[in-house]
Structure 1
Amino acid sequence: MGVPEVRTTHPTKGVPNYMAAGDFTPSRLGQQNATGDALANFLKVFAGEILTAFEIANIMLNRHHIRTIQSGKSAQFPVMGRAVANYHTPGAALSGQSIKHNEEIITIDGLLVADVFLSNLDEAMNHYDVRGPYAKELGNALKVAFDKNVLQEGILGARASNKITGLPGGTQIKNNKLRICTGGAANMTEKYTAIAESLFLAAQYLASNNVTEQAYCVLRPAEYYALAQNLNVINNLYGGQGSIAEGNVLKVAGIVILMSNNVPSTDLTGNTFHGGDFTKTIGLVFVESAIGTVKLMDLSIQVGDFDNRYQGHLTTATYAMGHKYLRPDALIELCLDTVTNATA
């Protein structure tokens, strides 16, 4: 026979008091159909928030080639040259032509991890929700790493030769006036004029290289808003499609202008996977086929079980990818000449 419940009522307020010898059966909001993992429903929301933060804030995700592999450590990206046309000589046999081929091998960098530990006590005592903000931060951490790696590879490609013999390599457009500093631009007018002129020159180089895809340019906020302040950039004279009121520049010389804090500006030669000296880098002009990513493990969210030793849960967001430039002829670095991003 079970232990009976003892229920009393406050003599003046009529409020029931429970003095049960047994345990309550809790209604776990996180369980599915009242069974299984008590955090199941919560974790899906958490994971969704991380994925949303990653996708919304990422500017390079949908602007280059991505290939998914099921196993292995690398993937082959074929690179093909161009065919030529010749006039036929009457009576001469057509023997065909040899179109040059090569390849780029993109190797997985490793497992990239963003993690956070939630203490059981801290979460219980906290007066506001931290799971949402933490999810956003994990997504942002992966987004920043992804964008930085892809942009750095694009810049390295702008400095590289072409794998196909006879095709042009990458291009660097050097101009000290892309930055206001000693030896550089004397004022904002010189700066945004230099940026606009560099973009038109980039469009010319792409056309000369027979690159017909939509081109993009990624600039840091200082250069992006320097363009937004220039009426000549956004009016019909310069072919711009932007708005002073909105503070945005959509296109210059047919190139879509994007803004990112992830354009490198320092010496990252110590970076194992995508290192280089970017102390003179201002921006990158590229097309979607110019950079590639190989994906072994997509974005994954893992929330560990409650760990009695540490009294909390460890949440990790991970992915395993690799990045590399594919078409140097479609990559252009906007950079300083003799000064650097650190020049006062």
Structure 2
Amino acid sequence: MSDAIPSRLGQAQANGDAWALFKQNYTAETITSFVENYKLDGRVSVRNIESGKSASFPNVGTIGSEYHVPGTEIKGLVVEHNETIITLDPMLISHAFIANIDEAMNHYDVRSEYTRQQGAELALKRMQNELRCAILAARTTEGKVEGQPGGAIIKAATMASDPTVLADAFRNARMLFDEKLLPDNPQEFTGALAPAQWYLLTENKDLIDRDINAESNGSYGQAIISSVARIPLVKINAMPRVDESALASIPAKYRGNFADTVGVIFHRSAVGTLKLLDLSLEDVYQGEKQGTLMLAKYALGHGILAPRGAIELSKAP
């Protein structure tokens, strides 16, 4: 009896690696999960590098003006410059090992769930670090160049529980950004709130009343709201809400006491992200261990760029 000729389901065009298509499926599922869960795309400044452990982000001050006296030489005014060095964090990995025997005996698929969770986990960690940087930027009292203001904190004891107080904080934040001469482009700002505070704002009917807002800003019945004071809202589960000052599992530069933090509003120039290795996947069969290692990873770093572009919302009295 001759051997059977198998149709290898993971082989591309019946040639080459018999697992090739399976690996692509794993990659696609993980990246899709990451994209679906990462809520801050385009909301921070990003720089890519091909090698090295750090990179410089420029900080440029403002140029002044003066009245010209006829006949005097025009020499040029001084513009303050500085730089922010953002260093990479250690590579962040999410991994799972699936033993052949376990997979053979199991009556349900776990790979799709593992890939979904790996993408979601790495998205969560990136958002947490970027939000920590935004909050720490708001707590920075001076700008990176002389003459530029620092961040700000808006405090109210009922910030986390009163929709009117929370909405007023957004209006005050919008005013502060205008006074600090930040661009008047709503799409460059983010109002990040935990679900509890996001849904709290939907209780304020004035924010979504079409008689008050010419354009629809949401739905009271559907509990949807898109912006307050022209600041787009992002409902996010990554908001730090506890004291992380001594939490060893977090890199030191991201630590702080966030127990009173309710939310953070920031301009995209406030926080920088450095990329060496973007999200990548490895699906490796290990014959000596009789199983498959599923690994998702990236190498990023985050830091404060422009403190004036960040405002923390706090429930501290």
TM range (shorter): over 0.9
Q: Is 1:156 aligned with 2:136? A: yes
The one of 166, 169, 178 equivalent to 1:198 is 169
Contact kept, 8 Å, 1:171 with 1:331, in 2: the verdict is yes
Q: Is the 8 A contact 2:89 2:300 kept in 1?
A: yes
Q: 1:75 to 1:252 in 2, by over 3 A?
A: same
What residue is the counterpart of 2:6 in the other structure?
26
Residue aligning to 2:198:
224
C-alpha displacement of 1:234: 1.7
Structure 2 residue matching 1:63: 3-state secondary structure: coil
Q: Is the 8 A contact 1:238 1:253 kept in 2?
A: no
Structure 2 partner of 1:173? 154
RMSD in angstroms over aligned alpha carbons? 1.6
Tell which deviates more after alignment, 84-93 or 130-139: 84-93
**Bigger CA radius of gyration:** 1
* Deviation at residue 32 of structure 1 after TM alignment: 2.3
Q: Structure 1 length normalisation: TM-score?
A: 0.85
Q: How does 1:239-278 map to 2 (within 5 A)?
A: 241-269=217-245, 270=247, 271-272=250-251, 273-278=253-258
Which residue of the partner structure matches residue 303 of structure 1?
283
- Kindly provide the CA deviation profile for residues 193-245 of structure 1, in whole angstroms up to 9, marking residues without a partner as x: 11001000000000000011422200001100000111022225478822112
Give the partner amino acid of 1:219.
L
- Distance in 2 between residues matched to 1:179 and 1:142, nearest whole Å: 27
Does the 8 Å contact 2:160/2:166 carry over to 1?
Answer: no
Residues 29-71 of structure 1 show CA distances to partners (whole Å, capped at 9, x for unaligned) of 1122334322111110111010011012111122111111000
Partner in structure 1 of residue 313 of structure 2: 334
Tell me the TM-score normalized by structure 2: 0.92
The answer for unaligned runs of 5 or more in structure 1 is 6-21, 181-190, 339-344
Name the structure 2 match of 1:140: 120
Higher relative contact order (CA 8 A, sep 6+): 2
Indicate the SS of the match to 1:176. Answer: coil
1:5-30 alpha-carbon deviations (Å, 9 max, x no partner): 2xxxxxxxxxxxxxxxx643432111
What is the CA–CA distance in structure 2 between the aligned matches of 1:33 and 1:193, rounded to whole Å? 61
User: Quick one: distance in 2 between partners of 1:27 and 1:308?
Assistant: 26
Matches for 1:93-108 after TM superposition, within 5 Å: 93-108=73-88
CA distance in structure 1 between the aligned counterparts of 2:21 and 2:315, rounded to whole angstroms: 52
- In structure 2, list runs of 5 or more residues that go unmatched: none
1:120/1:312 contact within 8 Å kept? yes
Number of aligned residue pairs = 307
Distance across 1 between alignment mates of 2:237 and 2:9: 40
Partner of 1:283: 263
Any conservation in 1 of the 2:88–2:300 contact (CA below 8 Å)? yes
Percent of pairs with identical residues: 37
The alignment partner of 1:168 has SS state of coil
Distance 1:32 1:93 in 2: 72
Which position in structure 2 is the counterpart of 1:293? 273
Q: Distance in 2 between matches of 1:34 and 1:238?
A: 59
Counterpart in 2 of 1:314? Answer: 293
